[in-house]
Chain A
Amino acid sequence: MADERRLIARAQSGDTAAFRTLVERHQARAHALALRILRSPSDAEEVAQDAFVRVWTALPGFRGESTFATWLHRIVARRAFDRAQVMKTRRARERPDEGLPEPAAPAPDEDTLRAAKLQELIAGLTAAQRAAVTLFYYEGRSVEDVAHVLGMPENTVKTHLLRARAALRAAWTHELGDET
């Protein structure tokens, strides 16, 4: 933590090597967050890159009121959510297989099939529901935090989570109900 604070201080004063270390430390989670919201590797990379460039720009004003990771993820989530809204129609025309990377194992066992099914169900949620579910489960954030990150009222986030769970439960029961 102290090491990270030193890196941030150095990056704030313009040290690009320190900023590179920060990028290397946080790139996986930032990119994964964008990918889980957008489900398009090319858009996710662009959004994650934009977010890091934005972080570099705004870093001199970062006062450490939240952790660096929280601040970064907030920027990534906002941008990914905005992109998801803007790209809604474009993404509908994209090839259906341009989503998360396929699992490495070629022979689909039961677990793989279930994971693929869940992935498909999550893809069927609206962008707002997906963003709320992703931040809630992947980031392990509270409803209050999710609301803050997405710039929505808490009740709206609760509604998105509730509707997402209801949709997922209905589809899960329909698809895999007999096996559970």
Chain B
Amino acid sequence: MRRQMYILAFLAVAATGTAAAQAPIHRGRLIAPDAAVRIFNIAGTVRVTGWDRDSVDVTAVVPKGAGEFMFGGGSGGVKMGINPPVGEAVYPGSLFEVRVPTRARVWIKTESAEILVSGLTSSADLSSVSGRIVVTGDVAQLSAESMDGGIDVYVNASLVRLKSAGGTIVLRGNVTDASLSTVSGAATAQLAGLDRGRMETVGGHLTFEAGLRPGGNYTLESHSGDISIRLPSNFDGALDLTALEGRVVNRLTKSPVNPTNQRRGEFLATSGGKATAELVGRTFKGTITLEVQTKP
């Protein structure tokens, strides 16, 4: 109880203390290996790196006028961030250099600050309005969303959820279950392997390049954006590609592209082996292009 009072008092002091100084602020404390780490920043950069210690360590550079730095919490979880100055519309960027246990569960939220994450193995939940998000490593579960910032991910992961409205999404690596969604931004999935995948956009360009796995299931949808599908020449999968008012271009197989019955579009349908993968691509008025994967 007394420790909790100390922590509360510490937070109060931290909130009114030396945050306006431009000299780097350094904080750290012991936390559980799987502790929750919550970080919020407005502008600037948040860089989080996993390390093999049961502690969290942050060095923050907070320029004058950027707001107040706060840091607090217990062994089960810590929270750090910037409390912005009231009434200001534009803030100088703050830099957070954070080290957390590799198994920590990390949550980051920013406005325009970029988010750079590496070396995590558990989960990361990242959100930015317009900042870029970059993730590398073996994080098990990743969720990243942005309104207008780009999302660039290179991971070995079991579950990946990426969303942006106008930003570009790029996913590389090896993933069990992936979902990429944009409205107008382009989305690219370039994966050594993928069990289940869904990519959707309204007007962006989708590029799907992945090793199809037996029993795998993949859906690619766009309204007006083009869809590029690149597969190995010896792929085993059933394809069901439809462009309702657009075109289907086949540069991969000898299967014919046919006109749709009632509309002005085209479709291509092929069957695969016994335990085959299924890939469905549909667009309203974009072009679906099926090509040979140029590199593994």
Q: Do chains A and B stick together as partners?
A: no
Chain A residues close to B by CB (< 8 Å): none
Chain B residues close to A by CB (< 8 Å): none
